[in-house]
Structure 1
Amino acid sequence: MTELDLVFGGRVFCDLVMSGVEAPAPGAEVFADGFTVTAGGTATRAVAGARLGFGTALVGAVGADLFGAAVRTQLAAEPRLRLDWLAELPEARTAVTVALTNAAERSFVTYEERATWLTDTLPPSAAGPLPAAAACHVGIAEGVPTWVGDLRRAGTFVVGGVGWDGTGRWDPATLDALADLDAFVPNEDEARLYTRTADADAALEALATRTGLVVVTRGARGAIALDAGTGERCEVLAPPVAALDPTGAGDCFVAALCGARTAGWDLRTGVAFAVLSASLSVQRPGGASSAPTAAELRARVRAGLEHDDLPAGDWDAVLEHLSR
């Protein structure tokens, strides 16, 4: 029996999101249609998991500054989210991202300090060590932290992800960390560039030789998945939606997928649930602030069943969870 459903470890940001706008040319000024201040990065996944009804913990760090206080205040309002392992560092400044977004494109400017990166050991906490957890997600760009390996040896299902490689090298050696994972969830560009393959399907096949489960997200086209152990493969198309801001959609997808694993749903149902969660998140601006709630997803699933516009999946099991 686990004490936590989900654990998310990684970098935590304060996102300043300006929506309905494109990045200006040098020397020019542009005006946004909307503005949101929200927790971002790994915090988006943690909020998404908690809002979907899963007991969730966030492992990371913010600075003892105005932006860190804003992030903590927002996260503390999520009743199923534990912040015992979110460190506050007096000597560091909170990572900040300014996002310029519209329905089709996103541009980012980020400031961060290495002190707020995820560490190999857990931050000290009055709550003590992390309790047993069903699933954990962590970025693998700097390797898998020791504390995540400890969780995995204790039975936690460990999911990994990567971010955009600003160096442009897309070093295939990064994928060596997949040996320490149970599942890997990149987006289509990340999958292709790291594997040097031509398309998402080829990348999926290549990645499945290195870890047990691979799910490649494809934005408005949904996601594809391959279970290397059973050979099961599935593709789930995203429902058509009026997208406002795609910021955080991938994080909502990952949180829902990890939750589906915790709930014991089959692969297709889990991927479909994750795709649906992400599709709801793009309809409003922001990272963590755009994560859908269990009630919103429950209403969408019921409407989808009524109009027969949901992808195949065990939606009765999903509704049972979302109705708790």
Structure 2
Amino acid sequence: MDEETGADVLLTGLLFYDLVLTGLGKPPTPGEEIWTRGMGCGPGGIANLAVAAARYGLDTSLATVFGDDYYGTHCREILAGQEGIDLSLSRTAAGWDTPVTVSIAHDHDRALVTHGREPVHTQDELLHDPPPARTALVHIGAEHQEWLGKAAAAGTLIFADIGWDPTEQWSGEVLDQLSLCHAFLPNDTEAMGYTGADSPAAALARLAELTPVAVITRGRAGAVAVDQTTGEHAEVSAHDMAALDIDVVDATGAGDVFGASFVAATLGGWPLADRLRFSCLAAGLSVQRHTGALAAPGWYGIDQWWRTTGSNDPGLSRTYGFLTDRIPADPGPAPHHPPVTPR
């Protein structure tokens, strides 16, 4: 880590311990017991972004709160010991339970059930004086975070995502925070909800007025983006996504893998179209495995896909040929994936 520029990626947010159930024949209903064919576990929440970034060889610093329970200890060991993520800005809270999420994957999507309490330390407490960093990956919400303004003023490029509004009121005030951001990466439902637009294209046009780089993800329908700093517009279509022939096992954390991949490609100075294709590919590869964080492909997974699949298919090799000059000569060791039962 360079002392002057700091980490490549700075993150803060809520950490979860994720338990993912896959292989359901149908959704559960009250009073019914359903046996699943697969199960995996590992760190989740903000860990999804942190692991995905670290697996691209980026110096990654995470400020979060761990409970002093089994789940917190387990997540800390994986993030620091296994993934090499800097946790010096994080804290362990005595008597506080690490939030636990059960993710039920079904029909190319997932439902989440979570148990937990509000963290005992806010993001502003953890990052009262944010250290230097090239980029920061954050989830913005109704609560304004003072540290974001300090980081942006110091030159950190802020890449922001946003969560689902359970009230479905979609307050436009949340978008006021975009004045601090370099890029905003919501999904299509969130983008249309918060902008009041009736289509992803209209939402993108509105968001492009608020932040230099606007990206809208659309799941299996691809993604669309505009970069005001370069004048570029790019789209990955549903046809492009179908060509990848992805077998979805667990969609948990796919948006986070997309976001971390977009940051990695941005730091590499790639054209917008390549950034978007790369991010969609990485997210697609991640949903073929259990759990969000430990399913992130990293350079090793991208390299394996290119060698075994992408470069051997004429259509894919044309679309993703840019990878030949971008995959590192040494993509690193095979990443650790979560222990799972057969799906």
Is 1:156 aligned to 2:156, yes or no? Answer: yes
Q: Distance in 1 between matches of 2:6 and 2:127?
A: 19
Q: Distance in 1 between matches of 2:27 and 2:116?
A: 21
Match in the other structure for 1:63 = 67
Q: Deviations over 1:63-99 (max 9, x none)?
A: 1112211211221233441111222111421111111
Equivalence for 1:251: 256
Shift in Å at residue 148 of structure 1? 2.8
Q: Which residue number corresponds to residue 77 of structure 2?
A: 73
Matched, 1:49 2:48: no
User: Partner amino acid for 2:186?
Assistant: P
Asked if 1:19 corresponds to 2:27, the answer is: no
| CA separation of 1:313 and 1:171: change in aligned 2, threshold 3 A | farther
The answer as to 2:273 corresponding to 1:265 is no
CA positional deviation for 1:130:
5.3
CA contact (8 A) 1:144 1:180 kept: no
Report 1:33-44 matches (<5 A): 33-44=37-48
Q: Which residue of 1 aligns with 2:112?
A: 108
Q: What is the match of residue 276 of structure 1?
A: 281
Cα pair 2:299 2:328 within 8 Å, conserved? no
Q: Secondary structure at the match of 1:204?
A: helix
In structure 1, give the amino acid aligned to 2:109: E
Code of the residue aligned with 1:157 in structure 2: it is L
Cα deviations across residues 110-165 of structure 1 (Å, max 9, x unaligned)?
A: 122222574213269xxxx6542211111110445333322222221111111111
Amino acid in structure 1 at the alignment position of 2:246: V
Q: 1:231 to 1:312 in 2, by over 3 A?
A: farther
Aligned counterparts of 1:112 and 1:175: Cα–Cα separation in 2 = 27
C-alpha distance in 1, partners of 2:10/2:82? Answer: 15
Q: Choose which of 229, 241, 245 in structure 2 pairs with 1:240.
A: 245
Q: 1:110 corresponds to which letter in structure 2?
A: T
How far apart, CA to CA, are the structure 2 residues paired with 1:322 and 1:65?
A: 37
Verify: 1:83 aligned to 2:54, yes or no. Answer: no
Structure 2 partner of 1:146: 146
Aligned CA distance change for structure 1 residues 100 and 301 (closer, same or farther; 3 Å): same
Aligned-pair CA distance for 1:219:
0.7
Match of 1:13, as an amino acid? Answer: F
Which residue number in structure 1 is paired with residue 297 of structure 2?
A: 292
* Cα deviation code 1:227-281 (max 9, x no counterpart): 1344311002322211111111111101111111122222111111111110110
Over 3 Å counting, the alpha-carbon distance change for 1:71 and 1:23 in structure 2 is farther
Rounded to whole Å, the distance in 2 between the matches of 1:4 and 1:223 is 28
The 1:78/1:135 distance shift into structure 2, 3 A limit, reads: farther
Q: Which of 25, 30, 33 is matched with 1:29 structurally?
A: 33
Pick aligned residue for 1:315 from 312, 323, 330: 323
Q: Alpha carbon RMSD of aligned pairs, Å?
A: 2.1
Which range is displaced more, 45-54 or 311-320? 311-320
- CA shift in 2, pair 1:316/1:117, >3 Å: farther
Supply the distance in 2 between the matched residues of 1:249 and 1:292 (Cα, whole angstroms): 11
After TM superposition, give the deviation of residue 293 of structure 1 in Å: 2.9
Per-residue Cα deviation, 1:43-62 (whole angstroms, up to 9, x for no partner): 01100111122111112112
Q: TM-score, normalised by structure 1?
A: 0.92
Letter in 2 for 1:307: D
Alpha-carbon distance, 1:198 to partner: 1.6
Q: Does the 8 Å CA contact 2:130/2:150 hold for their aligned counterparts?
A: no
Aligned residue number for residue 225 of structure 2: 225
Taking structure 2 as the reference length, what is the TM-score of the superposition? Answer: 0.87
Are residues 1:182 and 2:182 paired? yes
Aligned length: 320
SS of residue paired to 1:46: helix
Q: Which amino acid aligns with 1:255?
A: A
Runs of 4+ in 1 over 6 A off after TM superposition: none
Q: Give 1:247's aligned amino acid.
A: T
Do the aligned residues in 2 keep the contact of 1:149 with 1:180 (CA within 8 Å)? yes
